[in-house]
Chains A and B, each alone.
Chain A
Amino acid sequence: MASVDHKSWITQRLANRLPQWSDARRQGHSVFQQFVNPIGKSLEDLFKFVIDENNNNYLMKANLDLLDIAYVVRLPENYSFTRDQNDLSGDQYAVPRVVGELDGVDIEVSITSANTIEDFYYASLPTRVTDTGTYATVIPIIDDTILDNLDSATIISLPVDENGDTICLRLVITISGCENFIDTSRRMPSSFVTIDGTTFTGATDTETVYINYNGVFLTHKIWKTVTSVQYYGLQPSDSGQIRIDAFHFNMARDVDKYALVVDMDTEKLLYHKVLDHSFNASEPSYSIHQHMVVQANSLSALYNGTDTLVDVKEIELGWDNSGTFTNVQLVDIAVQPFTGRIFGLDATHLYIFDPYDSQMDYTGMKERTSGASMIIDTDFPDSLRGETITFDSVWRSPTKRIYKNRWTVKRPDGTRFRLAVDGTEIAYGNEAWIYNNTYTELVFGPFTTLGGEDINKQSFSLELTQRGTWQIMLEVVFVDGTTETDILPVQAHYKTALARLALPVGLQNPTGLAFDADQKLWLVRGSGNIAHKLSLATDNMLINFKDKIVYLHEEYDIVTVYPTDDWID
């Protein structure tokens, strides 16, 4: 179910099979990586499929959102769909208007784009958020506690709903301020937390949760009562802290267990986090969804990570307001189990984002000269609107004597400008060639400043004023008359919400969002930390035109199927 436009993490993994020095491996925009990306995306789907299907073999890990019930409307024999008169195969049907009535309110039901089960139940997005009426006061089960004081810490019961029934949940363990999680002599995680209590079945049970970095961990078991919590191996015990929560509201990070980020050297687990990012003084502060990544030496569970956070990738968030990208400021996010979709909240709406990077625009990249003698290098291929990136020339073949070169920048909106050697912008209409020393100076290269001083490379800085793909082009003319072109795409990442759903009026101004053990969405709001259970409804249908059966995703009191009008081409 990977979206069409994203760069797969598998692509870099495939490229990592190439030699360290190769451009194909080192450059995310290399022809090889562009070519391999479609295969990478398919492999990514398979990778996720294997994990999901494996989980589906185990009762407590299986996906509760699997198709279990469809609501069926069998149309009478004399109902007929209008068919496309021009289609000789005769199986192009007009889609009827279908309205479901629920508690006296009419709800339009739409057909999914492909009219397949995949689209109907799995790829489709929710269209409605309603309040189930279930609520609970949420307080930490064990509030922030120094490890040494854990024995004497008060254990608060799990939250109870309005009927007094305990809400059974996967517990959220937060560890902070600890060091040395891995026993280097055995190369094994040596730190863990054990929880004793009763699970949702009523059975007395114990669970061990391995801790290998400072962060947030979920229990696998679904707990009803907690009688004791112990820790082993975590240190330093006089300053390290533990906290246990019932819900994953406003946690530092959300872990997406499926998607991995792969870079040139290592593979990393993908994290999501929401933080404020100030663009500039004239614009308000918007929230940004971050991939926080943890360094890992391999995919092996035996040695999978320390708490060093590297390579923070920020993505600007917004929604499509009738064709205009409008920023959102989220208060919290939650990663939906199995789909990996990121659900976010602001004061009035629920937003759904896909978990992928935004795709770079590679248009025009075919102009690049492969194996060019002079290329563009930057440390900022993944950036953000409002940030200033630096890039410079890398002269890789000192034997090729450079006559002149010039720099052109294409903004995401397609407008272009050129750069002078001192970095000033020059209108695109100008030629803007930079003439160099025609002799070969092995230390400095052929470059000079405007004042005629020798420099070893041409360096520029550029503020990314727009979101999207910036393309920086370097054209070089050599003394022997040959020309080369290198193009470096730089992405100011952004993401448009797949869906934006209005929150029920009574549940506006929330402060947190989380999924529970039944994969149902909860939000928390108000000073009393009241968590409310939400219901996500998907008002769509699947139609079997031949047998005249309409399958509905949601349950309605009564469904009206209108006759289809004449075919409109």
Chain B
Amino acid sequence: MSQGRSGHAFYVVYLGEVRIVPTAKSINNTFDYMGMLVGLNRLPGERNATYRGRLADVHVNQAGAHYTGLINGITRELGLAQYDAITITSSLDYPRIEVGDTYINIWTSTSEYETIDIYLRDSTVYTLDDLVVAINAISGYTATLAVGGSEFTPAAQLLVRDSLIWVNDELLSSTHRNLLENKPVTPGSIKFSRQGSTIFATRQLTEAVVTEAGDYYVDYTEGLIVSYTLSAIDVTCRYSYSEFPITLRASPVKVMEFNSPTLRENIFYQVLGPDDLTTMDGLPKSEAVDYINELLAAKGMLWGR
């Protein structure tokens, strides 16, 4: 490597200037050490401020081996973010909305619902904007794009969610009128613990006829329980309620079960089975072909084997 002064052999003098595109090189600092503690590495070219945001997110959107945990973990690890997509309000007494992997069910009454398919690119509802229009067309529901939502985002980015939430044991106080913490309570969903079996024995349809021991009345829309007998302090109840208005969250990362019938119906053409009664998966649609190609690109394997 001796050049110049020593004079032996030969050396090349480069006369022209050099034009080079610089490459970013990450250098470990205290944030990377903190990242090691929580198992979150810096992304290539990521600056401290962004990395700090992801490190702080570890304790808020916790990762784990369940649906939410997988979404949280993968979204964060890829440097993406979950966001509020759509806010839905309802004028119905008992509204309910259920986001599945490829569909949204919207209850028009306590027993009937309409299904909006949000998965296929060629269906009427593909973007969040389409979904807002579709939900607004259902009477009793109003949807608006939330702050984080973009109108052209695929509606399939919505995370699985059910507005119906079960409360497993809410303690009643020893009064005649107990107001539950949540409303509206799903009609018929209230069950009392064993200690309340004599206090809440006969459900009456109006408050006026709660006239003797064991009679009680439930105002489902207000979440109010009225009993003739004074409730005991150890009585709990179990009920479900619908969380409304609801803001649906979305993430660019979606976790779907490949064996989900609704997913398979969407990505495979359905053909009549050998019994001529039930359908089964036929040829893959373009969406399924995308997945297959993606998997093949990541790992050389033979599809179907």
Contacts and interface: CB of A to CB of B under 8 A. Distances in A.
B23 interface: yes
Kindly name the residue among A69, A555, A559 whose own CB sees the greatest number of chain B CB atoms within 10 A: A69
A80 interface: yes
Interface stretch (A200-208, A326-334, A399-407, A414-422): A200-208
Interface stretch (A70-78, A233-241, A269-277, A446-454): A70-78
Interface in A19-52: none
Interface string A533-563: 0000000000000000001100111111111
Interface stretch (B55-63, B164-172, B278-286): B55-63
A79 interface: yes
Given A76-B18, A201-B60, A69 B30 contact: no
Nearest to B56: A201
Contacts, number: 111
Q: Is the interface of A mostly helix, strand, loop or mixed?
A: loop
Contact of A64 (B12, B42, B52, B60): B52
Nearest to A64: B48
B4 interface: yes
A164 interface: yes
A70 B27 contact: yes
Interface string A319-358: 0000000000000000000000000000000000000000
A68 B27 contact: yes
B49 A72 contact: no
B20 A559 contact: yes
B13 interface: yes
A518 interface: yes
Interface stretch (A10-18, A53-61, A131-139, A296-304): A53-61
Interface in A441-483: none
B29 interface: yes
A555 B56 contact: no
Contact of A563 (B17, B52, B59): B17
Contact of B30 (A62, A555, A558): A62
Interface string B244-260: 00000000000000000
A85 interface: yes
B18 A560 contact: yes
A562 B27 contact: no
A18 B61 CA distance: 56
A364 interface: no
Given A60-B56, A80-B13, A563-B14, A69 B22 contact: no
B16 A68 contact: no
Interface in B1-17: 3-5, 11-17
A528 interface: no
B26 interface: yes
Contacts of B30: 56-57, 62-63, 66
A123 interface: no
A62 B60 contact: no
Contact of A71 (B3, B17, B22): B22
A201 B21 CA distance: 35
B210 to A, nearest CB: 39
Nearest to A519: B49
A67 interface: yes
A60 B147 CA distance: 26
Given A85-B5, A90-B5, A560 B17 contact: yes
Interface string A167-188: 0000000000000000000000
A73 B46 CA distance: 19
Given A69-B25, A556-B22, A80 B3 contact: yes
Contact of B45 (A57, A69, A518, A561): A69
B147 to A, nearest CB: 7
Given A62-B52, A80-B3, A563-B14, A73 B22 contact: yes
A224 to B, nearest CB: 11
A79 B49 contact: no
17 contacts: A56-B30, A57-B30, A62-B48, A66-B30, A68-B51, A69-B27, A70-B24, A72-B25, A76-B18, A78-B14, A79-B14, A80-B11, A80-B13, A80-B14, A83-B4, A85-B4, A558-B21
List the 9 closest pairs (A to B, CB-CB), nearest first: A71-B22, A66-B29, A201-B60, A56-B30, A518-B49, A64-B48, A203-B60, A562-B17, A561-B18
Given A75-B18, A559-B20, 20 more contacts: A60-B52, A62-B48, A66-B48, A67-B29, A68-B26, A68-B29, A68-B48, A71-B24, A76-B14, A79-B18, A80-B11, A80-B12, A83-B4, A200-B53, A200-B56, A201-B53, A551-B25, A559-B19, A561-B17, A561-B18
